Amino acid sequence: MTIKVFGHKSPDTDSTGSPIIWAWYLNEVEGRDAAPALLGEPNTEAAFMLQRWGLDKPQIIDGVGAGDPVVIVDTNNPAELPADINAADITAIIDHHKLVGGIETKGPIDITVRPVACTATIMHDLMGAEATKMPDPIKGAMLSCILSDTLEFRSPTTTDADRKLAETLAADLGVDIPGYAAEMFAAKSDVSAFSDAELLRMDSKEYEVGGKKFRVSVLETTSPETVLARKASLVAAMDEVAREDGVDQVLLFVVDILREEATMLVPNDLTRQVAEKSFATVCGDDTVVLPGIVSRKKQIIPNLAV
C-alpha cells in the first residue's frame, strides 16, 4: 500500500515541499512505494515553488483510513492533522517543532525531531550520502523550504545547518538566493485572492495561555501595506473566526520580512492587553509595531501573556 507523506493543514512551503522530498527519497532510494499529499491547498508561495521547479501538486486529502501507512512531516501536533491520525499506521515522523503530545504509535517507529529552522534540512541529514542523488527539482524544493522557513536567514530560528545547506543547494542549482527569495516572498505577499477569514487561518496555530485560547496568525509579507489596507474588514472577520473556531481571540501579526518587524492588530481590550503584557510595548489606536519580531516559534509564542 502506498505510504502517504504529508505535513500540516494549511500547507506552507515546508509542508508542501518536504512531503515531495521525502516521498522522492522513499521511492527512489529506499525502493518503497510512497506519494506526497497535502491537507489543503498550498499557499501562494508553495504554489510558486511547485510551478518554478516543475513539480506536480500533490493530491489533497481530507483524512486517512484506519491502518493506512503514513509519514508525518513538519508537525507532531494532532490539531494540525486529520482527526483520525492515530488510527493510521504512522511509520515515521520528521519534524522541527516542540513536542506537544497526542500522537500515539502502535509500535516503535523512526522519529527525528531537530531544533533547526526547516524540516527539509533534517531530511538532507537523514539521507546522508544518498542526498547527492537528488534531481534538480527536489533540490529546488529543499532550497525553497529553507528560504521560506528562515525568511532568507532572517528568522532567529535559522541555524548554521540550514544556511550552509541552502547555500550549497543554490550554488549547485545556479540559483541567486536574494533574487529567488524575492520571487518567493512576492508570491507569498500576493494575498488578493483570499478572503479575510482565509487570511486569518492561512498560517495560524492555536495556543492557550492564562486560561484564554488564541489563534495566533502570522502573515509573512514583503508588502505589509497591502494587508494593512484591509485592516477594518480583517478586524471584523477576527471576531467571526474566533467564534467559529472556538477561541477567545485571533491575534494577527503581519510580519514585514524585509524590515524585520511585525505589526500586530489590537482592535479591542483583550488584544491590547496581550500585546502590552507580551511585548512590553505601548499600543497605538488599533495596531502596534513590534521591531525585530518575525518568528512565532521563537519570539511570539514564548512571550505570550495575558
Stretch that binds a second copy, among 89-97, 138-146, 184-192, 227-235 (CB under 8 A): 89-97
Among the listed residues 87, 111, 161, 209, the single contact to a second copy using CB under 8 A: 111
Q: d(Cα 56, Cα 98) in Å, to the nearest integer?
A: 30
Position of cell 483510513? 65
Stretch that binds a second copy, among 16-24, 98-106, 182-190, 258-266 (CB under 8 A): 98-106
Report how many residues bind a second copy under the rule CB under 8 A. Answer: 26
Residue closer to a second copy (CB basis): 63 or 102: 102
8 lines the binding site for a second copy (CB under 8 A): no
Q: CB 12 → a second copy: shortest distance, Å?
A: 16
Within 8 A by CB and 6+ apart from 32, the residues are 3, 26
213 lines the binding site for a second copy (CB under 8 A): no
33 lines the binding site for a second copy (CB under 8 A): no
108 lines the binding site for a second copy (CB under 8 A): yes
67 lines the binding site for a second copy (CB under 8 A): no
Read off the amino acid at residue 174.
G
Stretch that binds a second copy, among 6-14, 44-52, 114-122, 162-170 (CB under 8 A): 114-122
What string of H, E and C letters represents the secondary structure of the chain?
A: CCEEEECCCCCCHHHHHHHHHHHHHHHHHCCCCEEEEECCCCCHHHHHHHHHCCCCCCEECCCCCCCCEEEEECCCCHHHCCCCHHHCEEEEEEECCCCCCCCCCCCCCEEEECCCCCHHHHHHHHHHHHHHHCCHHHHHHHHHHHHHHCCCCCCCCCCHHHHHHHHHHHHHHCCCHHHHHHHHHHHHHCCCCCCHHHHHHHCEEEEEECCEEEEEEEEEECCHHHHHCCHHHHHHHHHHHHHHHCCCEEEEEEEECCCCEEEEECCCHHHHHHHHHHHCCCCCCCEEEEECCCCHHHHHHHHCCC
Stretch that binds a second copy, among 111-119, 178-186, 196-204, 213-221 (CB under 8 A): 111-119
Residue closer to a second copy (CB basis): 79 or 109: 109
In Å, how far from its chain's centre is CA 231?
A: 23
Site for a second copy in 125-184 (CB under 8 A): none
Among the listed residues 56, 62, 104, 285, the single contact to a second copy using CB under 8 A: 104
Among the listed residues 57, 114, 212, 230, the single contact to a second copy using CB under 8 A: 114
208 lines the binding site for a second copy (CB under 8 A): no
Beta strands 59-60 and 3-6 are unpaired
- Sequence length of the chain is 306
Residue closer to a second copy (CB basis): 103 or 266: 103
210 lines the binding site for a second copy (CB under 8 A): no
Residue closer to a second copy (CB basis): 44 or 75: 75
Residue closer to a second copy (CB basis): 209 or 270: 209
In Å, how far from its chain's centre is CA 299?
A: 15
110 lines the binding site for a second copy (CB under 8 A): yes
Residue closer to a second copy (CB basis): 117 or 241: 117
99 lines the binding site for a second copy (CB under 8 A): yes
Residue closer to a second copy (CB basis): 157 or 221: 157
Residues of this chain that interact with a second copy (CB under 8 A) are 93, 95-116, 297-298, 302
